Amino acid sequence: MKEDTGISRRGFLKAAAAFGAAMTIEPTLNKVQAAERIISGNHIVKNSDMKYRTLGSGSAPMEVSALGFGVMGMTYNRSQYPDKKMRHRVIAEAVDRGVNLFDTGIIYGPLTNEIFAGEALAPYKHKVNITTKFGHEVINGKATGRQNSRPEVVRQYCEDSLRRLGIDCIPMFYQHRFDPNTPIEDVAGCINDLIKEGKVQRWGLCEVSPETIRKAHAVCPVTAIQSEYHLMHRLVEENGVLQTCKELGIGFVPYSPINRGFLGGCLNEYTVFDTNNDNRHTLPRFRPEAMRANYRIVNVLQDFGRTRGMTSAQVALGWLLHKAPWIVPIPGTTKISHLEENLRTFDFALADTEWQELEQRVAAIPVVGDRYNAEQQKQVGH
């Protein structure tokens, strides 16, 4: 057969077997849809230079590159960015290097980041996993500032995300923030239905408490929890979230693993953020006086990395990767040089005692400033 048909004799036999399996194991589902989901589900494309990890367990595992890619900053909340051609080039390079987990969300823009992700990843959509998020209410393309995870709204968001991303099934659909007006069991039930219908493969939760994780997981197995986690913010170690993930076999995806770029050493008290497209100027931890005080932590990472040939960003990522084999950070960037830097983290193997030394040195320096303002802080930890 011609290569562009996309299926070999072995692939045909595999497809036939999958079709038969769908007929047998999902009698209550639309059987053609079920078979198509098994046949056309994303295929892990492995690169010998990349390491791979599994998020989740049981009926909801997801094998992904050990470092994912946060797409948000390509268009939203990270000041100026390169033209679309360059941003597409960065995405293509990431895929070529073995990255197959790309993360976006409805609220980023709103909507425009999903559109960008759909366009940039269109040539690779059967080779990568695009995860997106619902929860923040968006009406007529505008964010309302409220949370809305009512089942009928989640369904509509799912349909809209599928269209913007140009895919038939969302590999993982996160609830971006907890909705106090909708029981998490109702949200989980809705996702369970969407999975049965072949529109969603797996789901996750962002910035929630252990209690919420347990309630959700009991209704529909959760594949991953996504929360902020890095050397300057280790709350998930203290509030039971990481322990709950370990106990239930749920993966963990740290967002902002380099603390919104700060731990990479490129930001300081003199950095000017674009107030039209960057939320960092609103965050207490990114006020000039806070950055001046907190730069002592960056200095520790730089000093630690200097004798090991590592940059401070690589130290920050390496520390997270060492924490547990089911943790998959999702750093974002608009620069090929930073992508290369992040991926080169895998070149280094440090002993437990070295990472403990780093933790002790960082812990000796108090972090100045909260990570969120009061309004944003109300939306996390429920």
Residues forming the active site: 108
8 touches 14 (CB < 8 A): no
Instruction: Give the helix ranges, DSSP H, for 229-369.
Output: 235-238, 241-248, 288-306, 312-323, 336-343, 352-363
CA gap 29, 25 in Å, rounded: 9
Query: Beta partners for 132?
Result: 173
User: Percentages helix, strand, coil for the chain, rounded to the nearest 5?
Assistant: 45, 15, 40
Q: Where are the beta strands (DSSP E) in the chain?
A: 52-55, 62-65, 69-70, 101-103, 129-134, 136-139, 142-147, 172-175, 203-206, 224-228, 251-255
d(CA 59, CA 176): 22
CA distances to 74, 85, 102, 130 from 119, rounded to whole Å, are: 12, 11, 13, 12
The 3-state DSSP class for residue 375 equals helix
Over its C-alpha atoms, the chain yields an Rg (Å, rounded) of 21
Asked whether 97 and 339 are in contact (CB, 8 A), the reply is yes
What's at 35, amino acid-wise? A
CB-based contact 234:363 (threshold 8 Å): no
Q: Any idea how long the chain is? A: 382
CB of 358 closer than 8 Å to CB of 275: no
Work out the number of other CB atoms within 10 angstroms of the CB of residue 307. Answer: 7
Q: Is 275 exposed, middle or buried (0-12, 13-18, 19+ CB in 10 A)?
A: exposed
